[in-house]
Structure 1
């Protein structure tokens, strides 16, 4: 049966394609007028590989023009654009053939100057064949490329440092870096399970033959020497390599003493077999645990059991430590979505106005897109729910893991999981700007920065290695000179090397600090570094700024009291007009009450429906001023007058009826125009549910609580009594709050200031600044300025404050106890070894047990 013949030349294929195009044109199909090149994406830009660009925009003065710019950009085939007016940024996805210059030229036609962000420039470095853009962008790329190369060199050196082996040029680089003058840990990649298994298989018969005389057949010692050789050389290679790397770089390797002990034990045993009767066939060993039993040591003793046992115990201990030392960084990395994972995004077709779904990779999702998150999936972006509802389980660091029900207009964050329903999320932040990414970078930096105590512990551990070698050498010499027994002298010296535990001393501080920092982060509290943990433990006074910490964000108008002859509705309308542009909760409450009064027609025809206000300004002490248009009376229509909203700091600022109203209610706001106070508006703010309990917990910890407020003393004292605060600093203007915190510190207190970003200066002058984020985007808070951000609290409950204080005290107490234990153990173990009370094998077991005990104690810092 014959098969149809295929075209043999490309000419036949081209003729067939031409006939097909001609037939298509004959029936009115014209999409094929442009010849195809056969390259995917060249004919259809939607199929081409795309890149995401982020531009910072200058000259974007009005929001209505955004749609015109987006339409002009999307006229380029394959381009999708989203512009956010508030951030002055454009997120654009374009094919590879469309460079950033072309996109910038389109925006320049509208008077907008577009510059690629540093993040976009970094992505261009990952695609060297992509268009580089303008000369300015190329210069920035060269700068970033040089910076990246320097970072890569530093990473390579760090990997070599951990591996324990460096070339001479790396050594010179490290000598110039003062922060690299620390100890050398054993390379984790070399400590593997196969190495442990093989070493154990060879070590077990060696140890058994040493201690069970009945199993010692003729020539057993030579068999043990052969079995121990691969264990000593290959099994203990991670520790030997670290020691050699430390010697090459002039640093102390933490396992150097163990490495020397393993090698010396095998070499000593080989020498004994070659040059003493211990190598005779039929020789039997009867090892004892104590070196002072010199009669039994006179004929010689071999220590192959110590060499093999120490290797196996060290490998097992390091592997056990690695498997039990769970890291928050690892958990965050595992929970991070794959950028190549595809999600469904709903776009509005500008031509038809319909919503059209499109499946795209996560890395192509832009700000402003509507992303569909199916039930049971992790939310990959920060955004606002615009469709659907679901129970959301918080991510690793989004609070205490309590599920919450979200609906339209609620905020959701990357790393959370939609449990029981599909959500449509409008993207606000993606990639490295999401809250989880910012937290990941923050915690990674906090755990890497050593505090002073960690540096002291690590440096001391480094000095312990040469000290132990010197002590072992001196011990060997003295024992031999005094007793004349070289075997006893060697046994005690080997026990010294086997018992010393520099790892326990090095980890006594850093490990507990890391666990404490990660435990705080898992519960929504970010610490800058380990130094902050120590300072928190020393705090004896906590100052709360009332707004942003102790009360909810929402406020409500409680009363409106007008002076004699004044209209209370007019007082409220003027206050609403002056507060219109402010986002402060007090201003929003006044605006809301003024609108309700207007909508209900209160005040009659005497009150204008709309009050014009111009030249609104906010002074340094928080007073709102402006020119308002009011009825003038006496037949005149209207007149512009100067009006203001101000908050009294002392009762002496008011008299009569207004003074009584300001002292009897909530937060007072005074309304003034034409130089006269016309009325008082009191605001009621809701105390957070756990504020009183949190203040009580702080008092139980022995801390004094102070509330800082700009309200008058009667109002502030009444509020402080509701939550149980011990002291009140009332009548403090915003510009003088930092001075008030300094005054508390000047009295000899260690002060922690708790507030939101509006009191950043107060956070900076305190011993510890605790910033409550609230609804502010974390990326914006950290990017603008990190002054005063010693602790960043992502939660809104006040109970976070006593919890972080308690965690800091417990962690600091664990660190102190770990340091004392490590020192007491090392001194006691050396004395026991020197006196001959400690056998080298028993010393090995004690050494690894001390390190594991430090590990176990340090993990207690994870208990919140």
Structure 2
């Protein structure tokens, strides 16, 4: 007998409960209801929420908004307290009313409208309005809430549409995949698949040479062929075609699986076809008979002309494998060398360094600290062999130092006190003591790493584009080979001739050469420019700067060297020259411009020397100084007028032309020399101050080189034309843009560009607008650090302060541009001519492989010239002549001699340092 179900209540019991309900029955009903609710997911054991929990839940649901009201009519602090209490009585509102400022700060839930708050304030006869920031926040929150309501309103429809779309996708998944596989071409993808470099090893090449070279020799020299030689060739060629050529086969099948084109896929198919066709001929034709001899034919037409039947292509299979492995090993070295250049900028530095610091008792002590704890201004010790961790200046010692990537291709120099040294350099001599100027991300090496990394990303995108272009050659080569085979077979009735021409077509195409044509030269160009002190934003900057027609120099900060200085003060009749200088210094006190700093420095020197006597006060009270758009300084200055100190309006301005100067005496002085600055007060010109600065030593030679390179040079100057023209003549600049205020420099560069001139603007951070509008903006950065804001605007950042770096950079980029264009032209021309010759039957398959590798080698060798060429001498045109070649060879021999001398000097310095340490230890 089965046990009764405990959940079933007997009928008699239910009837009894209906007739007579007791307290126990009510409790049992409540327990059953709670159990059912718990089973449905309701937590019946949770206690009632407190008011604080309810408010928190409401805030989480509604969100909080902040209001700031300005109150007008608030008379007493008591009234402010009353208003605050009434506002806090509103549910969901927390308010604070500040009587002293007349402001009400309110935090309210989004469901509370401003009208409710406004009603409380109006009951107290207060005029109130929301601040602008509160209105903006309110509008933003309302917009967000409206967007959420729209999203909730359409959420159900979107979910239904999404579910329907997913169902359709699942329904059609197998059919779509089948149609895609049936209709798509495996080579329709635009990505090119390179052969895995790690699989191309020297061992594969050695095995291919040992086993494959005898096969090539036996087939090329018929006199050496013996009985069953063809079967020996089959045995030797089998491991060569399978194991040695496996990297190329793997890339081909991987491309098929990914529906991509392997760049070495055509060569892989040519090797396999040559082997299989030869094996077929040995097994099923007379080519496998004893005493059969092959006929080495260079032209495919010979087969059809002599009606030669039976040919094997083991030489093509083995020779092609050997040549491919050898060529790809050389290409791998070049690719790894070019791609490892970015990692060179991340030099390994020591983990700790010895720092010399002063203690609280003004005593110096040495202690070892981690590299991360170096501060600007610290004095650190650089022992022999240590990598410099920061940028700084030598303050003690003398040694040979390899400047590392910052010095340009690891150049070694002898540094002493006062010389600058940068992170990444290595000390090869005696210990040095340097003062830190920049650490971490502020160093030159860090800036180079950041810029070169950004350029490398752009170069990677270009590499993808060239790979896609090169990958198109592979399917075209397959199609052309099939058509060629059918055509030759139909015309000549010779399988041997058709197979020979088809193999030639597959072996002659060079997609790898096309893929390397542009990226390799551009990558090496970016690296060479970085090590020479020029950081390029991207690869497009190479072409833009190589094609510019004119270079505009901002005079201050690019052509000049050192601070400006006052060379003369010429007052108008009846004015005191010391007072004129004192007013100019007072107005320029807060400016960082080179002219302002020169005026302040001259004023301080005159004041310290006691110039002006008792009639001129040492200090002049100046109000707020305003700088107008054209760079004029205006302010209220307290000056002695008729024996009393009065506040008068004074101006410090630079004339655009002579017509603006009313006083003939001042006009004559302005033309006397230097950059004129005029001081005026009370509407009258009181005097002119002439300033001058020295040009960099290499500026004239650099300008001459730019002119020889067919580049027109401009100088942008604030000075009047006669002064600017005289300055430009001293360094050889052809065109002068004079009288240009700061707010007009950008428009001036636009004007030159509007004349059809491709412009490169050279300047510092004071002309960022002009750098932005130029075709190429070249920023002459500080030698210590690069301003991040200015670097975002510029296309090129020059870390070198010499002007000669510009013609070197232009010469380099022109060479890179020409090399890139020549490589692209060569790769396309070669593939077109090679395919034509192969189809015409005048190209042997083995020679086709040789020509294919020669094209890649030629492109790589021309690109490698970018690293070894000297761009500081001669122009681009001279380097292609015979004299240029001889000069380069002589220069290379001289560089090798210098490197040998440096190595000997380093060895000698190390030996001397070791002797000194030994003597100290013995002492």
What's the TM-score once normalised by structure 2's chain length?
0.70
> Residue 47 of structure 2 aligns with which residue?
none
Task: Return the alpha-carbon distance in structure 2 between the equivalents of residues 328 and 573 of structure 1.
Answer: 59
Give the C-alpha shift of residue 458 in structure 1: 4.0
User: Which of 837, 842, 846 does residue 837 from structure 1 map onto?
Assistant: 842
CA contact (8 A) 1:337 1:380 kept: no
Task: Return the alpha-carbon distance in structure 1 between the equivalents of residues 742 and 461 of structure 2.
Answer: 35
Task: Return the alpha-carbon distance in structure 2 between the equivalents of residues 228 and 375 of structure 1.
Answer: 56
User: Could you give the per-residue CA deviations for residues 785-837 of structure 1, whole angstroms, max 9, x where no partner exists?
Assistant: 54442111111111222222222222222222222222222122112211221
Cα 1:758–1:406 shift into 2, 3 Å: farther
> Residue 301 of structure 1 aligns with which residue?
311
* 1:461-610 alignment runs, 5 A limit: 461-610=470-619
Unaligned 5+ segments in structure 2 are 1-176, 872-923
Give the C-alpha shift of residue 495 in structure 1: 0.8
Other structure's SS at 1:396 match: helix
Task: Return the alpha-carbon distance in structure 1 between the equivalents of residues 199 and 450 of structure 2.
Answer: 28
User: Could you give the per-residue CA deviations for residues 455-491 of structure 1, whole angstroms, max 9, x where no partner exists?
Assistant: 7654432211111111011000011111111111001
> Residue 25 of structure 1 aligns with which residue?
none
Instruction: Determine if the alignment matches structure 1 residue 346 to structure 2 residue 356.
Output: yes
> Residue 738 of structure 1 aligns with which residue?
746
Cα 1:714–1:404 shift into 2, 3 Å: farther
Task: Return the alpha-carbon distance in structure 1 between the equivalents of residues 230 and 854 of structure 2.
Answer: 29
* 1:247-646 alignment runs, 5 A limit: 247-294=256-303, 298-324=308-334, 327=337, 330=340, 333-334=343-344, 336-339=346-349, 341-350=351-360, 352-367=361-376, 369-385=378-394, 387-388=396-397, 393-398=402-407, 401=411, 403=413, 405-407=415-417, 411-418=420-427, 420-450=429-459, 457-634=466-643, 636=644, 638-646=645-653
Cα 1:182–1:363 shift into 2, 3 Å: farther
Cα 1:448–1:309 shift into 2, 3 Å: farther
Cα 1:309–1:669 shift into 2, 3 Å: same
Cα 1:433–1:611 shift into 2, 3 Å: same
Give the C-alpha shift of residue 367 in structure 1: 4.7
Give the C-alpha shift of residue 672 in structure 1: 2.3
Task: Return the alpha-carbon distance in structure 2 between the equivalents of residues 816 and 766 of structure 1.
Answer: 24
Q: Which range is displaced more, 456-465 or 824-833?
A: 456-465
Other structure's SS at 1:556 match: strand
Q: Which range is displaced more, 484-493 or 437-446?
A: 437-446
CA contact (8 A) 2:344 2:405 kept: no
User: Could you give the per-residue CA deviations for residues 647-680 of structure 1, whole angstroms, max 9, x where no partner exists?
Assistant: 1112122122111111221111112233332211
User: Which of 657, 667, 674 does residue 650 from structure 1 map onto?
Assistant: 657
Task: Return the alpha-carbon distance in structure 1 between the equivalents of residues 375 and 608 of structure 2.
Answer: 40
CA contact (8 A) 2:459 2:523 kept: no
> Residue 763 of structure 2 aligns with which residue?
755
Other structure's SS at 1:732 match: coil
Q: Which range is displaced more, 638-647 or 689-698?
A: 638-647
CA contact (8 A) 1:266 1:303 kept: yes
Other structure's SS at 2:625 match: strand
CA contact (8 A) 1:451 1:530 kept: no
> Residue 857 of structure 1 aligns with which residue?
862
Cα 1:518–1:339 shift into 2, 3 Å: closer
Task: Return the alpha-carbon distance in structure 2 between the equivalents of residues 647 and 709 of structure 1.
Answer: 11
> Residue 722 of structure 2 aligns with which residue?
714
What's the TM-score once normalised by structure 1's chain length?
0.74
> Residue 210 of structure 1 aligns with which residue?
219
Give the C-alpha shift of residue 323 in structure 1: 2.9
Instruction: Determine if the alignment matches structure 1 residue 187 to structure 2 residue 192.
Output: no
Cα 1:266–1:751 shift into 2, 3 Å: same
Task: Return the alpha-carbon distance in structure 2 between the equivalents of residues 250 and 723 of structure 1.
Answer: 62
> Residue 817 of structure 1 aligns with which residue?
822
Other structure's SS at 2:761 match: strand
CA contact (8 A) 1:768 1:788 kept: no
User: Could you give the per-residue CA deviations for residues 431-468 of structure 1, whole angstroms, max 9, x where no partner exists?
Assistant: 44421122123123324414998776544322111111
Cα 1:331–1:362 shift into 2, 3 Å: farther
CA contact (8 A) 2:762 2:771 kept: yes
Other structure's SS at 1:397 match: helix
Q: Which range is displaced more, 598-607 or 205-214?
A: 205-214
CA contact (8 A) 2:563 2:594 kept: yes
Cα 1:419–1:808 shift into 2, 3 Å: same
User: Which of 803, 808, 812 does residue 803 from structure 1 map onto?
Assistant: 808
Task: Return the alpha-carbon distance in structure 1 between the equivalents of residues 455 and 538 of structure 2.
Answer: 4
User: Could you give the per-residue CA deviations for residues 251-272 of structure 1, whole angstroms, max 9, x where no partner exists?
Assistant: 3222111111112112222222
Give the C-alpha shift of residue 516 in structure 1: 2.1
CA contact (8 A) 2:349 2:424 kept: no
CA contact (8 A) 1:452 1:531 kept: no
Cα 1:718–1:578 shift into 2, 3 Å: same
Unaligned 5+ segments in structure 1 are 1-167
User: Could you give the per-residue CA deviations for residues 705-733 of structure 1, whole angstroms, max 9, x where no partner exists?
Assistant: 11111111111111111122221111111
Q: Which range is displaced more, 189-198 or 468-477?
A: 189-198
Task: Return the alpha-carbon distance in structure 1 between the equivalents of residues 315 and 458 of structure 2.
Answer: 41
CA contact (8 A) 2:350 2:386 kept: no
> Residue 723 of structure 1 aligns with which residue?
731
Instruction: Determine if the alignment matches structure 1 residue 238 to structure 2 residue 247.
Output: yes
Other structure's SS at 2:472 match: helix
* 1:56-135 alignment runs, 5 A limit: none
Give the C-alpha shift of residue 411 in structure 1: 4.4
User: Which of 794, 798, 816 does residue 793 from structure 1 map onto?
Assistant: 798
Task: Return the alpha-carbon distance in structure 2 between the equivalents of residues 521 and 598 of structure 1.
Answer: 47
Which protein shows a greater Rg? 2
- The root-mean-square deviation of aligned C-alpha atoms, in Å, is 2.8
Task: Return the alpha-carbon distance in structure 2 between the equivalents of residues 420 and 668 of structure 1.
Answer: 50
User: Could you give the per-residue CA deviations for residues 77-134 of structure 1, whole angstroms, max 9, x where no partner exists?
Assistant: xxxxxxxxxxxxxxxxxxxxxxxxxxxxxxxxxxxxxxxxxxxxxxxxxxxxxxxxxx
CA contact (8 A) 2:677 2:689 kept: yes
Task: Return the alpha-carbon distance in structure 2 between the equivalents of residues 325 and 456 of structure 1.
Answer: 17
Cα 1:825–1:806 shift into 2, 3 Å: same
> Residue 696 of structure 2 aligns with which residue?
688
> Residue 113 of structure 1 aligns with which residue?
none
User: Could you give the per-residue CA deviations for residues 151-188 of structure 1, whole angstroms, max 9, x where no partner exists?
Assistant: xxxxxxxxxxxxxxxxx9xx9xxx9xxxx954222222
Task: Return the alpha-carbon distance in structure 1 between the equivalents of residues 840 and 479 of structure 2.
Answer: 16
Other structure's SS at 1:664 match: coil
Give the C-alpha shift of residue 388 in structure 1: 4.8
> Residue 851 of structure 2 aligns with which residue?
846
